[in-house]
Amino acid sequence: MDAVSKLISAAGHALGPKGVITDPKEIEPWVTDWRGRVHGSSPAIFAPASTEEVAAIVRLAAEHRVPLVPQGGNTGMVAGATPAADGSQILLSMRRMNRIHAISADNRLAVAEAGVVLATLHEAANDIGMRFPLTLGARGSCTIGGLTSTNAGGTQVLRFGTMRSLVAGVEAVLPDGSIHDGLTGLKKDNRGYSLDQLLIGAEGTLGVITAVALRLVPAVAARAVAWAGVESPARALDLLRFLEARTNAIEGFELVPQDSLELVLKHVPGTRAPLEGEHQWNVLVEATTADPGHDIAAELEQVLGGALQERIIGDAVIASSEAQAEAFWKIRDTISEAERAEGQTLAHDISVAVADMPRFIVEAAVEVERRFPGVIASGFGHLGDGNIHFHVRAAGHAAPDWYEREGAAITQLVDDLVTAAGGSISAEHGIGQLKLGEFERLAPPGRIHALRAIKRGLDPLEIMNPGKLVP
């Protein structure tokens, strides 16, 4: 028997029949990444149901020198949860660990196992008058372990930060099979390096997250959603600063180029332009309050009125109903879908300093369009976080293999421009497999050295998700 077969057999004893899946039909949906770009293979899926079972499996994997690939909902964007194609790695599904151990409005904390789906946590928090203030398009399938391991962001980062700010503690099984218990809720703990922080964003390369303590905030009593037209990204940022100086309620602030709006109107049924007349750029603003007595719509209307008077914006409209608020968000959320319907698109999830972003969006688009004639480049998304989705669309007449032929060169140009601007080639999605080459090409040597040293120190046998994140 080879090492992989020996491990599968030993895992059967440790986890029981429910914990080891070997039917290729059941394995098949989980070995390709969410975008369908990377196809892997795994002879089995291990599905432990407790932290002790995870520890047992990690110890066995170390003994047999067989790498494990932790997986939550498999919704990650960089193929971080996709095993190697040669069948030498085994998927470790965390989806059976889906209990919420504790949730308290008094403590403002929830302790959830790694396999709890984000939408389930949202519901549980809502039931006690609280909320977990992070959301994203994959909320119906992505898990707390995956969100923590990718340090995910979403549309509320402006006010509440990424997972790094929302995680109060992490429980994890380290590569030697020992259990790190960071769920104790200590407000002060200065015993050196923070293992919790090291595990956040580690993409499963330093251990298996088994449970997370998460910060909660009071539930939203009301929200107001507005759509504003501006003449440039710089004016959009002026608007954000104007709003922030006058209200603490701004929670969402998304930049939408007119070109993206037009694509949505063309391809997504049931969508309508929120404003009459053309504006080169648009902004979706969401303000929220936890106070039922607070007229948030009136407040947002008044502040936007001030921005109109000062000519920061050209026009604005506040959604008059929850249905209209949803319709505004639908425009923002379907940009990628509309682009796909229009033709081939190359996506980049990048960040630069917030103050530099307006200029970057304009200048990078000009440079990409100059170097690759016919393409259309534009940025949309979380302007207030200095993070946009910088997408490059093929010209209408582009060949079907445009993506394969030109994609890498265009991405290298975008990544060079981002790096020259002091930014990051991965703002939200991580490195995984898909960005590993560009990360190695562009990261400062010190960063790569530190990453490799940490990886070697904690996982000398390379059993935790090798081939991801660490070049």
Ligand X SMILES: Cc1cc2nc3c(=O)[nH]c(=O)nc-3n(C[C@H](O)[C@H](O)[C@H](O)COP(=O)(O)OP(=O)(O)OC[C@H]3O[C@@H](n4cnc5c(N)ncnc54)[C@H](O)[C@@H]3O)c2cc1C
Give me the residues that bind ligand X (CB under 6 A), please: 34, 69-77, 80-81, 94, 114, 136-138, 142-143, 145-147, 149-150, 152-154, 203-204, 208-209, 428-429, 432, 465, 468
For 98, the token pair is: 């889906």
Cβ 154 to ligand X shortest distance, Å: 4
In angstroms, the Cα distances linking 286 to 132, 320, 401 are: 17, 13, 40
Q: Which residue has the tokens 């140009």?
A: 413
- Per the DSSP assignment, residues forming a β-bridge with 225 are 286
Cβ 234 to ligand X shortest distance, Å: 24
Question: What's the half-sphere exposure (Cβ side, CA atoms, 13 Å) at 72?
Answer: 30
Residue nearest to ligand X (CB): 146
Question: Contact, 131 vs 164, CB < 8 A?
Answer: no
Cβ 52 to ligand X shortest distance, Å: 15
| Nearest CB to ligand X, comparing residues 223 and 332 | 332
| Nearest CB to ligand X, comparing residues 111 and 142 | 142
| Nearest CB to ligand X, comparing residues 76 and 175 | 76
Cβ 216 to ligand X shortest distance, Å: 19
d(CA 467, CA 26): 24
| Nearest CB to ligand X, comparing residues 82 and 289 | 82
Nearest to 432, CA basis, from 180, 172, 151, 119: 151
Cβ 71 to ligand X shortest distance, Å: 4
Residues 6+ apart with CB under 8 A from 24: none
Cβ 74 to ligand X shortest distance, Å: 4
Pairing of strands 100-104, 179-181: unpaired
| Nearest CB to ligand X, comparing residues 8 and 436 | 436
Cβ 190 to ligand X shortest distance, Å: 25
| Nearest CB to ligand X, comparing residues 41 and 143 | 143
| Nearest CB to ligand X, comparing residues 80 and 386 | 80
| Nearest CB to ligand X, comparing residues 411 and 465 | 465
Question: Contact, 55 vs 177, CB < 8 A?
Answer: yes
Buried b (16+ CB within 10 A) or exposed e, 101-134: eebeeeeebbbbbbbbbbebbbebbeeeebbbbb
Cβ 221 to ligand X shortest distance, Å: 24
Pairing of strands 315-318, 250-257: unpaired
Buried b (16+ CB within 10 A) or exposed e, 154-180: bbbbbbbebbeebbbbbbbbbbebeeb
